[in-house]
Amino acid sequence: MKSKLFKKILIANRGEIAIRVMRACRELGIATAAVYSDADRSAIHVRYADEAHHIGGAPPTESYLQLERIVKVAHDCGAEAIHPGYGFLSEKARFPDACAEAGIAFIGPPGSAMRALGSKLAARELAVANGVPVTPGSGAVDPSNALEAARNIGFPVMLKPSGGGGGIGMKVVESEKELTAAIESTSQAARSAFGDATVYLERYVRKPRHVEIQVICDSHGHAVHLGERECSIQRRHQKIMEETPSPALTPEVRAAMGDAAIRAAKAAGYVNAGTVEFIYSDGEFYFLEVNARLQVEHPITEAVTGIDLVKEQIRVAAGLELSFTQEDVQWRGHAIEMRINAEDPLRKFIPNPKRITRWVAPAGPGVRVDSGFGPGSDVPPNYDSLVAKLIVHGGDRADAIARASRALREFVLVGPATTIPYHRAILENPDFRSGNLSTRFIEDHPQLVDQAKKFAEDQSPFDYGPDPRHVAAAAAAVASMVKQ
């Protein structure tokens, strides 16, 4: 296998995803090249790589978004391929185009597929043409035609930017009087974030589940899905916890959703790993969009299938066939991923970038931690607040929940405030435990913050700092002596 793969790969990213890709490369005998900004000079991914190259200042626009600079570094250092990770340039169609012009393989879909799927409106049209169900919606709207379109769909409606994702600009419109102002607000947000002010309408489903299907396609016409991931636990349209399989899907729905995802991918000429997202409600599913890259939550799919998605990405980019067929894919047990962010859940989740003063990652059976940080690492304010991904795998959902709770109690992360206690609160919630989920789960359970506050006072048995129980006892003893 090694003789057919690349000799060196440049990873055009940072943090945990850069290390994740480098680990796969190291196991395949492939040399790695890292890139880094001023803020990441001492980052772990820089030290882990075989070589590292400075590409600019701390702001992403001066470093990780410098497409031409990154391609030049890859060319100059002799890298035969570039892995984009997720975020930054990973879904920019001109990135694979620039790689092709430089004679460098891009470990992801071709630019043509990205363009076909980059516009949500175009992706909807592609889905409809290939028999993939979509929610009732409109074409592009503006103040002159939006009211008629919204009346045809029926209020409430969801107003969405066509050119981007991540929940940016999305707005629920409950009535006609709100529509014009909402269009102006969403259009402005879309123009600022994506350079495209185009917006459209969809019927708003009040409490859907967000379920996505992992697909991977090679250049030989083979396309396989690896099942679903339940991503309904979201805050402001941003995922914070994912699991697989979904507690709501039957084998029949899973198969139908997987077939629909493959049809959408094939219609776009998709090659490499990607994710087709759906909403699911009352036994019906509807196409949302395609994420043309590896997802943050890919490890839970790896846990239940035993398939290394990054290695498979590299194989496909090297022109090889998939190493497995649809019939080979089997799902075993249940997996959950928790995104540990440097945010303070007790203070409205404000970012909390600081130096990590103590760090002990949980371990034991079925526990995996992906991170680009460790003791002494600085969490910079310039990038996403993700510090670590805690992934657990159990025999069934109850086993996975128990394992996740145990692992969170063991996690020592001192310095920045994190979402660890909030995840513990979610796992203890009766609705979560019963699988009663929707994308409004966080909004519907405001008491989670109070529960998180109690968990935040707990100390891991692996934390070698002062035991707060002993400190309290000593303080009480001193107070007693003073009184005497």
List the catalytic residues: 293
Give the contacts of 223 (CB within 8 A, at least 6 positions apart). Answer: 215, 216, 217, 262, 265, 266, 270
Asked if 64 contacts 34 with a C-beta cutoff of 8 angstroms, the reply is no
Separation of alpha carbons 333 and 270, rounded Å: 29
Which residue type, as a one-letter code, is found at position 111? G
Separation of alpha carbons 449 and 159, rounded Å: 29
Structure tokens at 353: 């970038």
**Max Cα-Cα span within the chain:** 85
Asked if 33 contacts 49 with a C-beta cutoff of 8 angstroms, the reply is yes
Radius of gyration of the chain (CA): 23
Separation of alpha carbons 210 and 41, rounded Å: 37
Structure tokens at 207: 């409490």
Sheet holding 171-173, edge to edge: 137-141, 199-203, 157-161, 171-173
DSSP 8-state assignment for residue 34: E
Q: What is the residue whose two structure tokens read 């250049």?
A: 219
Backbone angles phi, psi at 476, to 5 degrees: -65, -40
Structure tokens at 72: 């030049």
Degrees, nearest 5: CA angle 402-395-210: 75
Write the secondary structure of 348-385 as one string of H (helix), E (strand) and C (coil): CCEECCCECCEEECCCCCCEEEEECCCCCCECCCCCCC
b/e code 357-376 from CB counts within 10 Å (16+ = b): eebbbbeeebbbbbbbbeee
Structure tokens at 129: 């043409």
Separation of alpha carbons 49 and 100, rounded Å: 24
User: In terms of Cα–Cα distance, which of 112, 111, 62, 87 is closest to 12?
Assistant: 87
